[in-house]
Chains A and B, each alone.
Chain A
Amino acid sequence: MSSPRSGIPHYWVALRAMLVLTAVLGVGYPLVITAVGQLALPAQANGSTVTVNGDTVGSALVGQSFSDADGNLLPQWFQPRPSAAGDGYDGGASSGSNYGPENADLIAAIEERKAQIAEFNGVTPDDIPADALTASASGLDPHISPEYALLQVERIAAERDLAVEDVRALVQSHIQARDLGYLGEPTVNVLQLNIAVEALKA
């Protein structure tokens, strides 16, 4: 008793089935979904890009670095989290550090960041939140915690000759609540905050 019609071997059935299924699931399906995305939801389907004065400066979803070519943090910009994607926020090499909790390199890196961020912002090391000291899972985390954003306010105000209160109010207005009010964590989108702070001086 066999389900393929008599005389047709299983592998021949399998080969034909795989060809049809590849055409349907591997070509037809993604093309239909792409058509729906491009026609009905083009902004999202193409990466939620952000433009300033007509120029695309990034994606609202993907973090970017605010360092100079040598990797030094630029003091006039709100700084994102440390990144393990390539040399930092490499859009072609998403990755976490994968350091374990007892890894000596990670422990040294956290100590170094702690000292550096404290000095950079003129705060005590104990005030620095965990997200500022740790690399994200993707290396492309677009967000920082509200605490880390607020911690950078005085530095930004001084660097840009802005009133501390104005910058703080700007950060407060950029704190995104949890999704639907209860999912995930409150965040601040670094790119959008930096676009806003750049506009503030005008």
Chain B
Amino acid sequence: MDVFFAILQVASLVLILALLYRPLGDYMARIYTSRKDLKVERGFYRFIGVDSGVEQTWQSYLRGVLAFSVVGLLFVYLLQRFQAVLPYSLGLPAVPEGLSFNTAASFVANTNWQSYSPDLTMGYTVQIAGLAVQNFVSAAVGIAIAIALVRGFTRRESATIGNFWVDLTRGILRLLLPLSVLGAVVLIASGVIQNFNGFTEITTLSGGIQNLPGGPVASQEVIKNLGTNGGGFFNANAAHPFENPNAWTSLFQNVLMLMIPFALPRTFGRMVGNHKQGYAILAVMGTIYVASLTFLTLFELNGAGTAPQLAGGAMEGKEQRFGIFASTLFGSTSTLTSTGAVNSMHDSYTSLGGMMPMINMMLGEIAPGGVGSGLYGMLVLAIIAVFVGGLLVGRTPEYLGKKIGPKEIKLASLYILVTPTIALLGTALSFAIPAVRADVESTSIWNAGTHGLSEVLYAFVSAANNNGSAFAGLTANTPWFNTALGVAMLLGRFIPIVLVLALAGSLATQDKVPATAGTLPTHRPQFVGLLLGVTVIITALTYFPVLALGPLAEGLQ
């Protein structure tokens, strides 16, 4: 009976996403291919000094991305450092340097890792004018990069790949902002708070004292999900009743997280002029999503491990209104996109259950991945897959009419090496440097033994892949983690962006080659299987050893 409800829950999510796939995907394609500017956009371009009619080379596009992100980094950093003099700061002091850097890096990199407890650290002004603004703009940057890569495939002998400032502006004004306004109203109607009340002291029914928090939560909650950011207004994130009051809002937040990443394959298919190419990408994303969700749900339902067995179920760190099914659905969605929000505590999952969010992130956030980053990550893997396919038959690989030559393969190979290198190096250094190790083991790790290794591994995998969720027992507000994770998030975000834009530039300069009898069709089930296989094998080969030391060791003992 319970399983029936679980299936119905997933079915309704799939139905909603299926209904959105075409209209939202087509709408996004129109946004990024339209030649017309809105009046308000023209005013904005004039003010910032941009000619929207002129396109950029990939190098110029990249300079725009980096300049914008550096300015964003400084903005968020300074807002935190000056918190004490900002209005609506709830009497909170300035955020310390290390934590300010980590948080600024985190929100600019679309990660939303939180080394801090928001309840005790961030006032309203930093949240709305610093963090929530980055929730919008970092998401718009991600989509812009994906669109630029798609343009690389659609252009012929072109030196340019679009205009970053136009893509950024349209993504915000035509997509993220209108959807956020609608979504925020739905969330408030369902119980999410939206006020500037601060804390209200009340006398409880039994005569105790409780401080009820306030805050502009709904406006931030919606974009945190829609932009696959994930940073909670409160420490408990989407488990907090004021962020996620009931099972309906939890499902709605799943929709918000998934709608753009799952509709982008449609945008891709439309822009390259072949919807079947979009369906092939969608099929790979969907297959991984359903498989991963099924595994996590079975592990949590099974409730293996000493504590869950003793309690009679894996309910530690889960809310009663969500139970197992709405918790595993949210956990899967949040880590398969690069959101990283939680409505249950992953640190308290069963050993093998806790491994699933890690695997989701290790896949590189591609099923469906973050807004934009999911699509460009998957397209890079598709390039690897056609290359592997080409090797098998001894033929120069092509994808969407573009030759995949040595340059493209080098860029794609570097791309898939970046995040594993950062994640594994960061984890290894945490234990290899004696002074760091002592600090990590005495201060940061919350659960002893193999689970402690999992906490550190989870942190670096999450940071490098720009997810932002955590095995939250880890005390990450230390000089080592604030610095190392901050650097990991920035490198994990921007090195791949450099490579993807270089790839886009390289592809755009090529002419199209006509498909022949020897061309590997990339819209058939055969290619879906190949791409799926390449994705899983790359991840498994990279991460299996360290998983064996952490969650597998704990779960199989």
Could you say which residues of chain B place their CB within 8 Å of the CB of A59? 212, 241-242
Could you say which residues of chain B place their CB within 8 Å of the CB of A69? 208
Could you say which residues of chain B place their CB within 8 Å of the CB of A33? 181, 184-185, 188, 194, 216, 218-219
Q: Roughly how many angstroms separate A29 CA and B163 CA in the complex, as a whole number?
A: 26
Tell yes or no: B119 within 8 A of A by CB.
yes
A57-B203 in contact (CB<8A): yes
Interface string of B186-202 (1 = CB under 8 A from A): 00111111111101101
B246-A184 in contact (CB<8A): yes
Residues of B within 8 A of A (CB): 5, 8-9, 44, 47-52, 54-57, 60, 63-64, 66-68, 70-72, 75, 117, 119-120, 128-130, 132-133, 136-137, 159-160, 163-166, 168, 172, 177, 180-181, 184-185, 188-197, 199-200, 202-206, 208, 210-214, 216, 218-220, 234-236, 239-242, 245-248, 250-251, 304-308, 310-323, 325-327, 342-345, 347-351, 354, 446-449, 451, 454, 471-473, 554
A100-B248 in contact (CB<8A): no
B242-A3 in contact (CB<8A): no
Residue of A nearest to B4 (CB): A182
Could you say which residues of chain A place their CB within 8 Å of the CB of B180? 29
- The interface-forming segment of A91-99, A153-161, A162-170 is A91-99
| Residue contacts A-B, CB under 8 angstroms, 22 given | A1-B54, A4-B51, A5-B50, A15-B71, A17-B44, A22-B75, A30-B132, A33-B184, A36-B194, A61-B242, A67-B208, A92-B120, A100-B347, A100-B348, A100-B451, A104-B448, A111-B310, A134-B316, A137-B239, A184-B322, A187-B320, A194-B205
A137-B317 in contact (CB<8A): yes
Q: B113: shortest Cβ distance to chain A, in Å?
A: 15
Residues of A within 8 A of B (CB): 1-5, 8-18, 20-22, 24-27, 29-30, 32-34, 36-38, 40-41, 44-49, 52, 55-59, 61-67, 69, 74, 77, 81, 85, 89-104, 106-107, 110-111, 114, 128-131, 133-145, 178-180, 182-185, 187, 191, 194-195, 198
Q: B292: shortest Cβ distance to chain A, in Å?
A: 20
A99-B202 in contact (CB<8A): no
Which of A11, A178, A180 has a CB less than 8 Å from the CB of B67? A11
Q: B234: shortest Cβ distance to chain A, in Å?
A: 5
Which of A17, A100, A184 has a CB less than 8 Å from the CB of B473? A100
Q: B11: shortest Cβ distance to chain A, in Å?
A: 10
B317-A44 in contact (CB<8A): no
Could you say which residues of chain A place their CB within 8 Å of the CB of B251? 183
A21-B219 in contact (CB<8A): no
Q: Roughly how many angstroms separate A37 CA and B8 CA in the complex, as a whole number?
A: 31
Using A183-B326, A185-B323, A194-B205 as known contacts, list a sample of 20 further A-B pairs with CB atoms less than 8 Å apart, ordered by residue number in A. A1-B159, A3-B56, A4-B51, A10-B63, A24-B177, A57-B202, A58-B204, A61-B245, A74-B206, A92-B211, A96-B316, A100-B354, A100-B454, A101-B451, A102-B306, A102-B554, A107-B306, A130-B308, A133-B315, A182-B9
| A26-B128, A45-B195, A143-B320 known; A133-B242 Cβ under 8 A | no
Which of B56, B128, B185, B343 has a CB less than 8 Å from the CB of A137? B343
Q: Roughly how many angstroms separate A99 CA and B327 CA in the complex, as a whole number?
A: 17
A14-B67 in contact (CB<8A): yes
8 nearest interchain CB pairs? A184-B247, A101-B305, A98-B473, A130-B313, A185-B323, A137-B239, A26-B129, A37-B194
B347-A98 in contact (CB<8A): yes
Residue of B nearest to A144 (CB): B320
Could you say which residues of chain A place their CB within 8 Å of the CB of B326? 183-185
Could you say which residues of chain A place their CB within 8 Å of the CB of B234? 94, 138
| A61-B241, A107-B306, A141-B320 known; A102-B216 Cβ under 8 A | no
Q: Roughly how many angstroms separate A32 CA and B193 CA in the complex, as a whole number?
A: 14
B308-A136 in contact (CB<8A): no
Which of B193, B206, B312 has a CB less than 8 Å from the CB of A47? B193
B348-A98 in contact (CB<8A): yes
Could you say which residues of chain A place their CB within 8 Å of the CB of B354? 100-101
A99-B307 in contact (CB<8A): yes
Could you say which residues of chain A place their CB within 8 Å of the CB of B347? 96, 98-100
Q: Roughly how many angstroms separate A89 CA and B194 CA in the complex, as a whole number?
A: 21
| A44-B189, A91-B199 known; A185-B56 Cβ under 8 A | no
Could you say which residues of chain B place their CB within 8 Å of the CB of A184? 246-247, 250, 321-323, 325-326
Could you say which residues of chain B place their CB within 8 Å of the CB of A32? 181
Q: Roughly how many angstroms separate A198 CA and B242 CA in the complex, as a whole number?
A: 26
Residue of B nearest to A56 (CB): B202
| Highest count of chain A CB atoms <10 Å: which of B49, B70, B220, B351 | B49
Q: B536: shortest Cβ distance to chain A, in Å?
A: 26
A1-B306 in contact (CB<8A): no
B205-A58 in contact (CB<8A): yes
Q: Roughly how many angstroms separate A56 CA and B220 CA in the complex, as a whole number?
A: 27
Q: Roughly how many angstroms separate A102 CA and B212 CA in the complex, as a whole number?
A: 33
Could you say which residues of chain B place their CB within 8 Å of the CB of A128? 312
B306-A64 in contact (CB<8A): no
| A65-B204, A107-B306 known; A22-B195 Cβ under 8 A | no
| Highest count of chain B CB atoms <10 Å: which of A16, A102, A139, A140 | A102
Q: Roughly how many angstroms separate A55 CA and B325 CA in the complex, as a whole number?
A: 37
Q: A59: shortest Cβ distance to chain B, in Å?
A: 6
Q: B433: shortest Cβ distance to chain A, in Å?
A: 25
Q: Roughly how many angstroms separate A178 CA and B247 CA in the complex, as a whole number?
A: 8
Q: Roughly how many angstroms separate A81 CA and B321 CA in the complex, as a whole number?
A: 12
A22-B202 in contact (CB<8A): no
Could you say which residues of chain A place their CB within 8 Å of the CB of B245? 48, 61
Q: Roughly how many angstroms separate A136 CA and B160 CA in the complex, as a whole number?
A: 52
Could you say which residues of chain B place their CB within 8 Å of the CB of A3? 50-52, 54-56, 60, 64, 163-166
A77-B172 in contact (CB<8A): no
A93-B119 in contact (CB<8A): yes
A34-B117 in contact (CB<8A): no
A91-B211 in contact (CB<8A): yes
Could you say which residues of chain A place their CB within 8 Å of the CB of B196? 34
Could you say which residues of chain A place their CB within 8 Å of the CB of B248? 179-180, 183
Residue of A nearest to B56 (CB): A3
